[in-house]
């Protein structure tokens, strides 16, 4: 025998002990949008010996549950976001008793109906017979395969519906931007299609409305495109915004200044991201895309395009 090793075995779970249970935080059943956690700084430290306590769970993971803090997602996890909301909503409905709840499936056996999450790596996409489908974050789809399979799968239904939810992206050759371009034609009534409905929450840009003047234009007659730094305009892209803008306009708050239920985007967080983007071109690209739903040309950029345009010149000198 080289050394002795002791493994404590507890009949009562560690966090069920009275002194531990009394110190636990009562977390909400559903994660609130304004309770999000952000990693803003990472500081390297020296490696030192530590002691660890194993968590009493099959996976030995900490803070994994209904209120866990997510740090990454798989494709199936992404597909389950909308499905999880549907599951939670149905549990509060009058017809919840007729639903069978499984790990990855909601079923109503009397009508042979089911609701389940599917991802691009799923082997069960072919042969679908869909009544309703929700495609989440279409801008992130690498190809139109899933979109096309879903759209083709509703042909046998009397009143099918395909719901697409997405922010802006960078792939302006992909299926998401193609759908967006078609929607803009429907909204401008250059294409008539009463079966295709959509809403785009974003700022008015010269790309969508060529008649607008650019922000840097000195024209006093033409209407300019929206300035992304104008806090009063942010609500166009974020209807769920709550707080008070720099000019004093309130959004999503009551007479006491408290957040109204249903408004989930804190303007102070958006303001901080805008300030960071104003001095960092790469961060600005992400702010325009994810906060203001403005499609950009690339994921990251190293120079502000407005600054680039200001240095434009029509005179070219060739030295001989």
Q: pLDDT value at position 10? A: 54
Q: pLDDT value at position 303? A: 55
Q: pLDDT value at position 216? A: 83
**What 3-state DSSP class applies to 281?**
helix
| Side-chain half-sphere exposure of 229, counting CA atoms within 13 A | 7
Number of folded domains that form the chain:
1
Please compute the mean of the pLDDT values over residues 245-272 and round it to a whole number. 95
Q: pLDDT value at position 313? A: 59
Contact 302, 282 (CB under 8 A): yes
Residue at 255 is within a domain: yes
Please compute the mean of the pLDDT values over residues 230-253 and round it to a whole number. 97
Q: What confidence tier does 251 reach under pLDDT thresholds 50, 70, 90?
A: very high
Residue at 47 is within a domain: no
Alpha helices in 137-266 (DSSP H): 145-152, 175-187, 234-237
Please compute the mean of the pLDDT values over residues 17-37 and round it to a whole number. 62
26-35, 119-128, 137-146: lowest mean pLDDT where?
26-35
Q: What confidence tier does 126 reach under pLDDT thresholds 50, 70, 90?
A: confident
Contact 186, 157 (CB under 8 A): no
**What 3-state DSSP class applies to 243?**
strand
Q: pLDDT value at position 300? A: 57
Residue at 144 is within a domain: no
Q: pLDDT value at position 69? A: 44
pLDDT of 24 strictly over 70: no
Residues 170-215 pLDDT 10s: 999 999 999 999 999 999 999 999 999 999 999 999 999 999 998 8
What is the spatial distance between Cα 169 and Cα 137, in angstroms, rounded to a whole number? 9
Q: pLDDT value at position 40? A: 66
Tokens of 149: 């399979």
pLDDT of 16 strictly over 90: no
Please compute the mean of the pLDDT values over residues 211-233 and round it to a whole number. 91
Query: What is the reported pTM?
Result: 0.69
Residue at 111 is within a domain: no
What's 266's DSSP letter? E
Alpha helices in the chain (DSSP H): 18-21, 75-91, 145-152, 175-187, 234-237, 267-278, 281-286, 305-310
Residue at 176 is within a domain: no
Q: pLDDT value at position 108? A: 87
Please compute the mean of the pLDDT values over residues 145-162 and round it to a whole number. 88
Please compute the mean of the pLDDT values over residues 251-267 and round it to a whole number. 94
Residue at 179 is within a domain: no
Domain residue limits at 243: 213-311
pLDDT of 97 strictly over 60: yes
What is the spatial distance between Cα 113 and Cα 68, in angstroms, rounded to a whole number? 31
Residue at 75 is within a domain: no
120-134, 226-240, 300-314: lowest mean pLDDT where?
300-314
Residues 37-86 pLDDT 10s: 666 677 777 777 766 666 565 555 544 444 444 444 456 777 788 888 88
pLDDT of 93 strictly over 90: no
Residue at 317 is within a domain: no
């Amino acid at each position: 025998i080289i050394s002795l090793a002791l493994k404590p075995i507890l009949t009562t779970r560690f966090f069920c002990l009275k002194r531990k249970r009394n110190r636990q935080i009562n977390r909400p059943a559903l994660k609130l949008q304004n309770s999000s956690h952000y990693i803003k700084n990472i500081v390297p430290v020296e490696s030192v010996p530590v002691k660890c306590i194993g968590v009493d769970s099959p996976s030995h993971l900490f803070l994994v549950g209904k209120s866990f803090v997510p740090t990454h997602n798989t494709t199936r996890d992404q597909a389950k976001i909308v499905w999880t909301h549907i599951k939670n909503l149905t549990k509060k409905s009058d017809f919840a008793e007729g639903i069978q709840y499984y790990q990855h499936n909601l079923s109503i056996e009397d009508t042979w109906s089911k609701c389940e999450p599917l991802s691009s790596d799923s082997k069960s996409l072919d042969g679908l017979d869909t009544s309703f489908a929700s495609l989440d974050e279409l801008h992130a789809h690498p190809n139109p395969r899933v979109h096309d399979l879903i759209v083709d799968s509703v042909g046998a239904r009397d009143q099918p519906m395909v719901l697409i939810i997405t922010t802006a992206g960078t792939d302006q050759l992909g299926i998401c931007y193609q759908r967006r371009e078609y929607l803009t034609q429907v909204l401008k009534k250059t294409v008539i299609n009463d079966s295709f409905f959509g809403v785009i929450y974003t700022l008015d840009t010269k790309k969508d409305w060529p008649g607008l003047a650019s922000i840097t234009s000195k024209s006093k007659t033409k209407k300019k495109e929206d300035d992304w730094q104008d806090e009063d305009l942010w609500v166009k892209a974020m209807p769920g915004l709550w707080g008070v803008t720099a000019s004093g306009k309130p959004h999503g708050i009551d007479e006491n200044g408290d957040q109204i239920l249903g408004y989930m985007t804190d303007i102070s967080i958006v303001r901080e991201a805008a300030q960071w983007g104003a001095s960092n071109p790469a961060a600005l690209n992400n702010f325009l895309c994810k906060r203001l739903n403005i499609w950009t040309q690339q994921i990251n950029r190293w120079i502000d395009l407005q600054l680039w345009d200001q240095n434009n010149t029509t005179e070219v000198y060739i030295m001989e």
